[in-house]
Structure 1
Amino acid sequence: MEITSSLAAVVTGGASGLGLASAKALRAAGVKVAIFDIAEAGPAIAEEIGATFHRVDIMSEESVVAGFDAARAANGQERILVHCAMVAGGGKTVGFDKTTGGFKRAPTEGFERGMLGIAVASYRMASIAALGMAGEDPLNDDGERGTIILTSSCASQDGQIGQVTYGSGKGAVNAMVLPMARDLMDLGIRVNAILPGTFATPPMLGVKDRAPAVFAGLEAAVPFPKRLGKPDEFGSLMMELVRNTYFNGQCVRLDGAIRMPPR
């Protein structure tokens, strides 16, 4: 897909971290960007980079549909969706409870919420975007009408202790990519996912402030380069997935060759 100022994009979670890096990269290329987020700072951040802001709760179908309607009214039909937002949870399947002196399990409700906030939300965003793209004219000789980029995680392939909910949700995202790309192939809509490793997003930078030794260990675990990923490196790969029309149905790790240990 040729990236021009005539294109519009929706970036979820675009007020911070990987989403913000993606929004900035798209704006730098001239793309009209709509940020979907619930962050209080979202409107100011969107104004700063020249994007529109839409308060969208990815757990609510009504909120998401209203967000797409507002974004399309402002910028036109999006041809690019970058979905970075999520709602997750943690906890060991069964672990020892120091308070009671017995064992406890992570509640089913927490697992369900994580699946809704990762897998179901990814389908929600992708399917609503694809429905809008389907009726548009092709952008090039290949018949491309749009591209969808989902955010998975290396935890989908080597999840650590306490990541059964997160790893399962992100694994479902991976499993979604190829059949969805095949569903949408006749419409000229591509679907890919990025599997980031450990990135220097606000939550991880909070670890650096609270526990510098832990943060140093996270950096040392990366084979090369021995540091956390930079959000703009995620943005750079995202832009290549947009540009390169032959990228389709792929789950691409971006992780400095890390393979996560059990804990």
Structure 2
Amino acid sequence: MRRMPEDTDADGLTVGQVSTRLRVTVRALHHWDEIGLARPSLRTTGGYRLYTAGDLERLHRIVVYREIGLGLDRIRAVLDDSTADVPGALRAQRTQVAERIDRLQQLSAGLDRMIEAHERGLLLSVEQQAAIFGPQWNPDWPAEARQRYGDTTQWRQYAERSAARGPEEWQAIADANTALDRALGEAMDAGVTPGDPEANQLVERHREVFASYFPLTRQMQVCLGRTYEADPAFAAHYDGIRAGLAAWFRRLIDASARAHGIDPDTATWE
């Protein structure tokens, strides 16, 4: 390595100047120097590194190759091996970049859906909602639910599930709910009472079906049972299946909770 007098810095650039010009860290420049990838050609009499115009040209190429994803060993081969297939290496890297762009675009689309799901709750058109959930469905309900529950953990869990679902998945969930409603009506007709094995199976089935929206603890299920009986809209739904079904279903849930050591009178949403 040639040495230059202290007052001839104009003939070369210091590590700090190169770092600023190329927007790479001083640490990276020192590392490249240590491994012999890009060593400064000059030093001052005081021992400071100086990069020449030729050094800077090599560094420019290193930065470009690094930005497109080539590893340092591959960069060294491209720069120093006269037999290296540079176009082939660049084509291979271009393929990898294209694949990465595709993955990032998919990630971006997924993030868009996640944001929309958090804001809307249900990523279906009004027509799709009517076709899946039936004419009694009100498309304003998801917005109303977000208004009431948008700051809760359960809403976030629901939104994450919603973002990953299309019409087919929602149709399967709607079918599962319809089948459960039918099973509840048939069990009530058959005289099933709270605490019966069949009653407890229905309570467990309700928890499984409801988990399509968010995980439902037994205590939370007790709270839902209260809502089914007390809320006019829910009560109308269940009592529309069978008169008195809302109150009957709540008793089934309460009996199952007691069997698991939960007092329905003190259960909270947790």
> TM-score interval w.r.t. the shorter chain?
under 0.3
- Give the TM-score normalised by structure 1: 0.24
Structure possessing the higher radius of gyration over alpha carbons: 2
* Greater helix share, structure number: 2
* Greater strand share, structure number: 1
| Higher RCO structure (Cα 8 Å, ≥6 apart) | 1
